[in-house]
Chain A
């Protein structure tokens, strides 16, 4: 499969010819690819992944770093394969352990993103909860979970977010908590809005919450995004579609859970997280 990265057409320079006007201080931005261009590339990568699956190749659990429909990846992905470290062959690797966090690192208010300002934020109040497990099914206890997100209008409280949607003075969109003994985390927040970005023309991110997670080992470190069920933007989004296995992609989508909804207060979503990577406890137990 060949994917042609977008390059602007070269402009001919004729020596001695008059310049076509004052030299622009900043080169004009090249025209963006269309959604049709990006969708075609997404379809090609999905078809290739499906062929690999049909041929019995192992299904990649994570996105390929050279997923070009996400244009920013082009100059930022390594070209060489990573060097593998086998935890059984190198049981002393520092990465099989990881940082610890505790009660001094969070406050009770951190997990409720609707109570960080004097007023109530705008939008649909939600509860997001789930369990953090390692691949053996063991809960990850007492570890740090961090989230950040756009407000209900799809705007981040970040000065580089130029989306002309309103900021909400009562919503920052940052939360933290520690997992409990069952590996459970819970946040109260606002359902974030979809937002435009400049990957291609008419590019919109489906609504999502960014999650950062620590396991018992540094190898299990994960930063990812949680999506909301039934979002019509899923097929258009090269970031979500970078996970080419449909079953793996489904693991990024929370489930609406009516049992979690609280009358007159919040709608409930459940999203469980499984951290990849070996840990020192695996070695001790002979995994």
Chain B
């Protein structure tokens, strides 16, 4: 792979061996001897706003329809300041516990190409919400359900957080207070101390309404506990 030819900072030394080329990886049907090295993450930066958010991204289920819940909150940094340029993505099991999702989150108008959004029949399970200038987000969705194959599991929404300043996204989860019994047996919650587990719990603050804040970094004065973030392997 071609490299930079100039190196005034002395930090971009040429690689000794050529990179393994993923295109040269074994036939799709086969399995490579060793896992392929992944493509590194880079920050979403400040200018994703005209590319990634889409109309209705915050409505996995229609706002205001009976049965729809509202999840809202604020993303804050280690200074306690709101993060106005974060992007939150949500993924959850369907109301029947299915984990296949459904296409159509960004359904398009074939005439104009504009995003007209979900048709409201299928539950796509996917939401995408940018924070506003005050660091806030609002999501409308169905209550979290356990996967069909594991009906006793504690239901949760999976969350992925992107932001300028974050070189690699962060995963977290939103659990709900209604399922306290299942939480005791949850493979994640059960191995967290209480003060850490609490950061993954939504707080009811109205009928069918919950608050869930994301604290990217513990504040120096300790007033805001850092959210538990996850790594998968």
Contacts and interface: CB of A to CB of B under 8 A. Distances in A.
In this complex, the member of B21, B99, B187 whose beta carbon has the largest number of chain A beta carbons within 10 angstroms is: B99
A44 B158 CA distance: 36
Interface string B12-40: 11110101011101101011100111111
In this complex, the member of A93, A223, A231 whose beta carbon has the largest number of chain B beta carbons within 10 angstroms is: A223
Given A73-B165, A133-B36, A230-B4, A43 B11 contact: yes
B110 interface: yes
B50 A174 contact: yes
Given A61-B40, A76-B83, A223-B42, A82 B230 contact: yes
Interface string B170-203: 1100000000000000011001100000000000
A190 to B, nearest CB: 15
Secondary structure dominating the interface of B? loop
A280 B93 CA distance: 14
A90 interface: yes
A186 interface: no
A85 B6 contact: no
B23 A107 contact: no
Interface string A155-167: 0111011000000
Interface in A39-69: 39, 42-43, 46, 61-65, 67
B105 A105 contact: yes
Contacts, number: 325
How big is chain B's contact interface, by range? 35 or more
A100 B103 contact: yes
A146 B23 contact: no
Interface stretch (A21-29, A248-256, A259-267): A248-256
Contacts of A82: 170-171, 229-231
A104 B165 contact: no
Interface string B93-122: 100000111111111101001000000000
Given A136-B35, A235-B7, A256 B2 contact: yes
A75 interface: yes
B67 interface: no
Contacts of B228: 80, 83
Interface residues of A, number: 110
A8 B218 CA distance: 22
Given A76-B83, A78-B226, A107-B110, A39 B11 contact: yes
A100 B100 contact: yes
B187 A232 contact: no
Contact of A223 (B9, B41, B79, B233): B41
28 contacts: A62-B168, A70-B43, A73-B166, A76-B163, A82-B171, A83-B228, A85-B188, A87-B233, A94-B92, A94-B158, A95-B232, A99-B125, A100-B101, A100-B103, A101-B105, A136-B31, A212-B51, A218-B91, A221-B169, A222-B41, A223-B41, A230-B2, A232-B6, A234-B12, A242-B42, A250-B1, A252-B42, A270-B23
Interface of B: 1-15, 17, 19, 21-23, 25-26, 28, 30-32, 35-52, 77-79, 81, 83, 89, 91-93, 99-108, 110, 113, 124-126, 147, 149-150, 153, 156, 158, 160, 162-171, 187-188, 191-192, 216-218, 226-233
